[in-house]
């Protein structure tokens, strides 16, 4: 039997995929990725793909860095595991926490580690409620998130997020979580200017605080740029107004930096790019460039000191500050820093990529092409002028486009009828040229199909 078929059959027999219609996948067989180097993946048939998604928005330094494997092996030999419960610590946790505090905004100097972004957001939910309880305000426990935000897949993460389809499964959201509108001008701004719309959507936060009462609202959580929701870059008016509101009412601000952190927007954090002053930042993904699972909550001095009088915070994971994960993350941060990768995105790669990507808006299928740092999206539409949606269910054209993209050797994701991109931060100009060439061919093929099937 062909090895790919064997892999696919065994995969279908025993492996359940995340976020997948299992019956449909088993019928078709999964794509089997066997190795990767730099910005390229190779599948079990030897076909190469330019990885326009950096794995799942995480492989910032690119694949195949031997230093990362060497550090992991060294740390496994020296101290493969020990916990940081029971008044114990170890050198990799200390070194990584110190390095993160150096990189984070000046008022954020403390880190609690987790294994995934979802876990870190569970930490954040419990921490902000605990913070207010220690301040003598236990009823101040409502957390406000946004529609179409993504904060993970655990019970708290999915509740904080605003994905309707996720809320329908498993009885979510949990109590005392509320959602306001997202700053997605292209899809929802109607005849407002982006600036007016950004302001209006930010002011929904103020309306929510006044509606529930400032004595009930604990925190607001948001991604600086929504990633999984479709790379939604807020209008310039949005974040300054959010910051004004959280400052005015003294509400805690949680910036979910799981995607935006560690260079994705051309700065160490999306909070730097948008001039946000968070009380807590969620980090994961780019912290280790996906080489090993690790995440965390970076906590401001205000929240840290606010919690201290409360005694023990009954929270933590077996793998909080895992020594191998900490050592690998620290090596990743060394590479990002010493190879000047973040500044290079800001000054060179992002401007080049942005120019080339935005030119895709000329394509008859594309209503808007947007990019910040190295994360971008294309809005596919049957009518650019009216910013119309395709008839019928969303995502049919997006899915066609994704299939063509993979066949053309480019990993580009779809979210409904948006195409999204988030390549490794080490992508070169010639690789960007290749990405654009394959994306253009993909759009052409999708356009032909959409016309043929009467979708436009």
The CA distance from 395 to 415, in Å, is 7
For the residues of 156-218, what is the DSSP string, one character each? HHHHHS--HHHHTTTT-SPSSEEEE----HHHH-TTS-HHHHHHHHHHHHHHHHHHH-TTTEE
Query: Smallest gap, in angstroms, from Cβ of residue 256 to ligand PXG?
Result: 4
Binding mask 422-451 toward ligand PXG (x if CB under 6 A, else -) reads ------------------------------
User: What crossing angle do the helices spanning 323-338 and 91-103 adopt, rounded to 10°?
Assistant: 40
The phi, psi pair for 196, rounded to 5°, reads -65, -40
> Which distant-in-sequence residues (6+ apart) come within 8 Å of 139 by Cβ?
215, 216
Q: For tokens 């190779």, name the residue.
A: 42
Residue selected from 52, 62, 92, 117 as contacting ligand PXG according to rule CB under 6 A: 117
Residue number, 151 or 184, with CB nearest to ligand PXG: 151
Query: Smallest gap, in angstroms, from Cβ of residue 281 to ligand PXG?
Result: 11
How do beta strands 366-372 and 295-300 pair?
unpaired
Q: Tell whether residue 382 is a contact of ligand PXG (CB under 6 A).
A: no
Q: Tell whether residue 228 is a contact of ligand PXG (CB under 6 A).
A: yes
Q: For tokens 């050198």, name the residue.
A: 91
Q: Tell whether residue 118 is a contact of ligand PXG (CB under 6 A).
A: yes
Span of 73-81, 126-134, 252-260, 338-346 interacting with ligand PXG by CB under 6 A: 252-260
Query: Smallest gap, in angstroms, from Cβ of residue 191 to ligand PXG?
Result: 30
Residue number, 105 or 162, with CB nearest to ligand PXG: 162
Binding mask 119-158 toward ligand PXG (x if CB under 6 A, else -) reads --x----------------------------xxx----x-
How do beta strands 252-256 and 217-222 pair?
parallel
Query: Using CB atoms, what's the residue nearest to ligand PXG?
Result: 117
The Cβ of residue 247 has, within 10 Å, a number of other Cβ atoms equal to 11
Q: Tell whether residue 284 is a contact of ligand PXG (CB under 6 A).
A: yes
Q: Tell whether residue 259 is a contact of ligand PXG (CB under 6 A).
A: yes
Residue number, 151 or 346, with CB nearest to ligand PXG: 151
Query: Smallest gap, in angstroms, from Cβ of residue 162 to ligand PXG?
Result: 12
The Cβ of residue 9 has, within 10 Å, a number of other Cβ atoms equal to 13
Query: Smallest gap, in angstroms, from Cβ of residue 88 to ligand PXG?
Result: 26
Binding mask 30-59 toward ligand PXG (x if CB under 6 A, else -) reads --------------------------x---
Residue selected from 122, 256, 417, 431 as contacting ligand PXG according to rule CB under 6 A: 256
The CA distance from 54 to 61, in Å, is 9
Q: Tell whether residue 343 is a contact of ligand PXG (CB under 6 A).
A: no
Q: Tell whether residue 416 is a contact of ligand PXG (CB under 6 A).
A: no
Counted residue by residue, the chain has a size of: 456
The CA distance from 116 to 283, in Å, is 9
Query: Smallest gap, in angstroms, from Cβ of residue 210 to ligand PXG?
Result: 27
Using CA atoms, how far residue 204 sits from 146, 212, 222, 229, 418, in Å, is 10, 12, 13, 19, 25
Residues forming contacts to ligand PXG in the complex (CB under 6 A) are 56, 116-118, 121, 150-152, 157, 223, 227-228, 256, 258-259, 282, 284, 295
């Amino acid at each position: 039997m062909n090895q790919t078929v064997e892999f696919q059959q065994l995969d279908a027999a025993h492996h359940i995929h995340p976020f997948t219609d299992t019956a449909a996948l088993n019928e078709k067989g999964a794509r089997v990725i066997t190795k990767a180097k730099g910005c390229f993946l190779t599948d079990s048939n030897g076909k190469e793909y330019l990885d326009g998604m950096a794995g799942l928005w995480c492989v910032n330094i690119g694949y195949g860095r031997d230093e990362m494997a060497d550090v992991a092996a060294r740390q496994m030999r020296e101290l493969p595991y020990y916990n940081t419960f029971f008044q114990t610590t170890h050198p990799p946790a200390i070194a990584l926490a110190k390095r993160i505090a150096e990189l984070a905004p000046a008022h954020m100097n403390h880190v609690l580690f987790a294994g995934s972004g979802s876990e870190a957001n569970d930490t954040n939910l419990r921490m902000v409620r605990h913070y207010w309880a220690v301040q003598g305000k236990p009823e101040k426990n409502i957390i406000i998130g946004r529609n179409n935000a993504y904060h993970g897949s655990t019970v708290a993460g999915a509740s904080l997020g605003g994905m309707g389809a996720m809320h329908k499964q498993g009885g979510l959201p949990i109590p005392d979580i509320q959602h306001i509108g997202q700053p997605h001008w292209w899809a929802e701004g109607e005849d407002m200017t982006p600036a007016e719309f950004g302001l209006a959507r930010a002011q929904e936060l103020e309306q929510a605080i006044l509606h529930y009462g400032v004595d009930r609202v604990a925190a607001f959580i948001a991604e600086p740029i929504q990633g999984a929701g479709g790379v939604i870059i807020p209008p310039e008016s949005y974040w300054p107004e959010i910051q004004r509101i959280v400052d005015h009412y003294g509400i805690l601000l949680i910036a979910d930096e799981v995607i935006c952190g560690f260079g994705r927007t051309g700065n160490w954090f999306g909070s730097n790019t948008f001039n946000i002053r968070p009380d807590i930042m969620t980090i994961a993904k780019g912290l280790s460039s996906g080489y090993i699972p690790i995440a965390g909550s970076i906590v401001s001095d205000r929240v840290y000191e606010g919690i201290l009088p409360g005694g023990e915070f009954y929270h933590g994971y077996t793998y909080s500050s895992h020594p191998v994960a900490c050592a690998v993350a620290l090596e990743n941060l060394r590479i990002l820093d010493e190879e000047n990768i973040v500044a290079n995105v800001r000054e060179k790669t992002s401007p080049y990529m942005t120019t080339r990507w935005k030119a895709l808006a000329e394509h008859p299928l594309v209503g808007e092409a947007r990019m910040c740092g190295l994360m971008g999206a294309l809005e596919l539409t049957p009518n650019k002028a009216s910013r119309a949606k395709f008839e019928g269910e969303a995502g049919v054209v997006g899915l066609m486009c994704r299939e063509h993209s993979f066949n053309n050797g480019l990993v580009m994701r779809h979210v409904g009828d948006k195409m999204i991109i988030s390549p490794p931060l080490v992508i070169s100009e010639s690789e960007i040229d290749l990405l654009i060439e394959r994306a253009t061919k993909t759009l052409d093929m999708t356009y032909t199909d959409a016309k043929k099937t009467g979708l436009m």
